[in-house]
Chain A
Amino acid sequence: VIRIAATARWTAEDGPLTPSAADRAGSSRFVRMTAHVLSALGADREPETRWVFGTCHGPRHDAIEAALGRSHARAFTIPHAVQEVASRLDHRGAVSIVSAGTRTVAMALVEASVRMGEGPVFVVLADESTPAHTHAPIHDALAVALELVVDDTAGPRISAPRRRSEPLPSPPRHVSAAVAASAMWPALALVDAVRESAWGWHALEADRRRSEAGWAVELRPPT
């Protein structure tokens, strides 16, 4: 059982990202929003802590915007984007980058859970807004970060993610319509559930047609 030591969230509805002294020309919003939520957790004060990044589209939005001449973002690959975030926060620890479509949130938490034996882990789950020309459901950008720890300190906890064969006892939590089509919405719902003490099982698969069963995590009250 893993303790959620801290959470941070950002969506476009929260307003523009506050410019930081570390911002550089060419930093994409993907880079800035993930750096923003990591900074909110104090990740810049723990440079050796492991990071697990989960993203479905990564910086694909930036590649398209750059191809359309509307962006000068430099990092068109997810490793390069994460490297830019690490550089901004002076991070020197190990990084895992995980993608699995609508199961990305679940798989990033699986990767984090098996990394917990090595110490605390910062999990970042983020996607840009729907890229132009994709003909995909429109959604806004969002970024979520969790600090996960295995220790005896009191605080909310989550089980390791598991694939449930039976339906969840309650329907998936509501998230803003602006991000409901994002593969990352279960991360936002989980962070909101922690803040609202909504204990119980939470869906981790973004495909709402499949979220009655499938990958889920149990959020438990502080002990």
Chain B
Amino acid sequence: MPAYPMTARAAVNAAGDELDAILHAIDHDRSALRPCAELGEPPPLVGWLGSPPPLPGPLRAHDGRAARVLFRALAPSTAAIESACKRWGASRVGAVIAAPIADLDPVAVAMRLSAPMPAPTAEALVELVLAATSMRGPVYACSAEGAAGATAVAAGIRLLDAGALDAVIVGGCEVLGPATLRLPGVDAPGEGAALALLERHGDAFVELAAVCEVASGSALARLAREHAHATRSVGYVHAIEPVEADPARPGVPVITTTRVTGHLRAAAGVTELVLAAGALERGRAPIPGDRGDPDLDLDAAIVDVPVGKGGRVALSLRARSS
């Protein structure tokens, strides 16, 4: 695949609603996980976003907790998206958004109130993106177990590689509720959204250089084997959980985010992607405490996340000036 510049990015989760704030929280190992009495008794430990503000008037038809959370990441990016629509044409710009794994809480609320069932969350997110932007290319939601946001990135890259689009928003959104929390799953989940705008050409400091998906085994190892250029000067590996260090460069630090943000599931993968991009731009890996290496050669990063039943996705980012 060619490298695709990342011309816009945004993230929101319990650690902050801007990249710098989230990176700062990781720098200082400051967890945003809190016991949340609204979600059950005893209060579960979660990365909770409280009460996100309702969508603005014209978008109110798509309102819902997931849409509110996604909009907090989408709103700061709309100028860049509109610029891409002008540059490439609206039909050449699209989006792939990872939707929350469970759609149970809107069902539970509607049944409790004997109210009409709202549209499925995935549908609401797609309609929100179409209503909030002028893009008219393919826009769809994807679902997966684990860090589903990484599958949205891989799907968006497929659309660019196939020539179906010239610019794509890849994103993910995760929300929590009492019914969803009763499902078996990860400990300490979190809420949040993240998105990145990838274009065929454009001015950007960071580009996505390689994507590797594996059904089983190590995506990091395959990335190293098949894309040696992508791992030649890796500054650090960004993961949502501890992984083996980059086999192409032993000693490369591995940074994890779940202890700070909670496990963001559908928003994970994309969150790590945009945080790694932010770290490359500021030239400093988000290494907590005194574990940082001031001499770290930070011009590339790899994001490594689990997806589905044993699968993994690895994403290689590099600074374009390198």
Chain A residues packing against B (C-beta within 8 Å): 56-58, 60, 63-64, 67, 76-80, 83, 86, 92-101, 103-104, 106-108, 110-111, 113-115, 117, 131, 133-136, 160, 163
- In the complex, which residues of chain A have a beta carbon less than 8 angstroms from the beta carbon of B111? 64, 67, 133
Choose among A108, A111, A160 the residue with the greatest number of B CB atoms under 10 Å from its CB: A111
User: Of B17-25, B53-61, B119-127, B229-237, which stretch is located at the interface?
Assistant: B119-127
> Which residues of B lie under 8 Å from residue A117 when comparing CB positions?
162
B144 touches A76 (CB 8 A): no
Q: A64-B111, A103-B140 are in contact. List 9 more A-B contacts (CB 8 A).
A: A56-B120, A60-B103, A77-B104, A86-B309, A98-B142, A99-B141, A100-B141, A135-B116, A163-B91
Closest chain-B Cβ to A77's Cβ sits at a distance in Å of: 5
Q: B167 CB to closest chain A CB, in angstroms?
A: 15
Our pick among A57, A79, A134 for the contact of B308 (Cβ within 8 Å) is: A79
The 9 closest A-B pairs by CB, nearest first: A101-B123, A99-B122, A107-B140, A135-B116, A114-B162, A134-B117, A100-B140, A97-B143, A114-B158
> Nearest residue in A to B122 (C-beta to C-beta)?
A99
**B-side contacts of A97, CB under 8 Å:** 142-144
A108 to B138, CA, bound (A): 10
Q: Are A92 and B120 in contact (CB under 8 A)?
A: no
Q: Can you report 14 residue pairs joining A to B where beta carbons are below 8 Å apart?
A: A56-B120, A58-B103, A60-B107, A63-B107, A79-B144, A83-B309, A86-B309, A93-B215, A98-B142, A99-B120, A111-B155, A114-B158, A114-B161, A117-B162
A63–B102 alpha-carbon span in the complex (Å): 10
How many whole Å from A63's CB to the nearest CB in chain B?
A: 5
Q: Select from chain B the residue with minimum beta-carbon distance to A114.
A: B162
Instruction: Tell me whether A67 and B140 are in contact in the complex, defined as CB-CB below 8 angstroms, given that A76-B102, A79-B101, A83-B145 are known contacts.
Output: no
Q: Which of A92, A101, A104 has the most CB of B within 10 A?
A: A101
Least CB distance, A128 to chain B, in whole angstroms: 12
Of residues 133 through 175 on chain B, the ones whose CB sits less than 8 Å from some CB of chain A are 136-145, 148, 151, 155, 158-159, 161-162, 164
Determine the chain B residues whose CB is within 8 A of the CB of A106 once the complex forms: 138
**How far apart are the CA atoms of A56 and B139 in the complex, in Å?**
14
Closest to A57 in B: B120
Considering only CB atoms, which chain A residue lies closest to B99 in the complex? A99
Chain B residues near A92 (CB, 8 Å)? 215
Q: Is the CB of B144 within 8 A of A133?
A: no
Whole-angstrom distance between the alpha carbons of A63 and B162 in the complex?
Answer: 37
Specify the chain A residue showing the minimal Cβ separation from B138: A110
Contact pattern, B 196-216, Cβ under 8 Å of A = 1, otherwise 0: 000000000000000001010
The interface of chain B, by Cβ under 8 A from chain A, is 91, 99, 101-104, 107-108, 110-111, 114, 116-117, 119-120, 122-123, 126-127, 136-145, 148, 151, 155, 158-159, 161-162, 164, 183, 213, 215, 308-309, 311
The answer to whether A131 and B117 touch across the interface, beta carbons within 8 angstroms, is yes
Are B143 and A79 touching (Cβ within 8 A)?
yes
In the assembled complex, the CB of B2 is this many whole angstroms from the nearest CB of chain A, namely 15
Q: How far is the CB of B48 from chain A (nearest CB, A)?
A: 20
Rounded to whole Å, the gap between the CB of A124 and the closest CB of chain B is: 14
Are A58 and B126 in touch, CB under 8 angstroms? no
Tell me the bound Cα distance from A96 to B215 in angstroms: 12
A110: nearest chain-B partner, CB-CB: B138
- Nearest-neighbor residue (CB-CB) of A68 within chain B: B111
In the complex, A113→B155 CA distance in Å?
A: 12
Identify B139's interface contact among A60, A100, A113, CB under 8 A: A100
Q: Are B140 and A76 in contact (CB under 8 A)?
A: no
Q: Which residues of B contact A63 (CB under 8 A)?
A: 103-104, 107
How many Å lie between the Cα of A95 and that of B309 in the bound state?
11
Q: How far is the CA of A106 from the CA of B130 in the complex (A)?
A: 15
Q: How far is the CB of B95 from chain A (nearest CB, A)?
A: 10
B308 to A56, Cβ gap below 8 A?
A: no
CA distance A113 to B114 in the complex (A): 41
The smallest C-beta distance from B312 to any residue of chain A, in angstroms, reads: 12
Contact between chains at B107 and A115 (CB < 8 Å): no
**In the complex, what residue of chain A is closest to B108 when comparing beta carbons?**
A67
Give chain B residues whose Cβ lies under 8 Å from the Cβ of A100: 122-123, 126, 139-141
**Chain B residues with CB under 8 A of A67:** 107-108, 111
CA distance A195 to B138 in the complex (A): 28
Contact indicator B99/A135 (Cβ below 8 Å): no
> In the complex, A99 Cα to B122 Cα: how many Å?
6
CA A98 – CA B119 in complex, angstroms?
Answer: 15
Which residues of chain A are near B99, meaning CB under 8 Å? 99
CB B195 to nearest CB in A, in angstroms, measures: 17
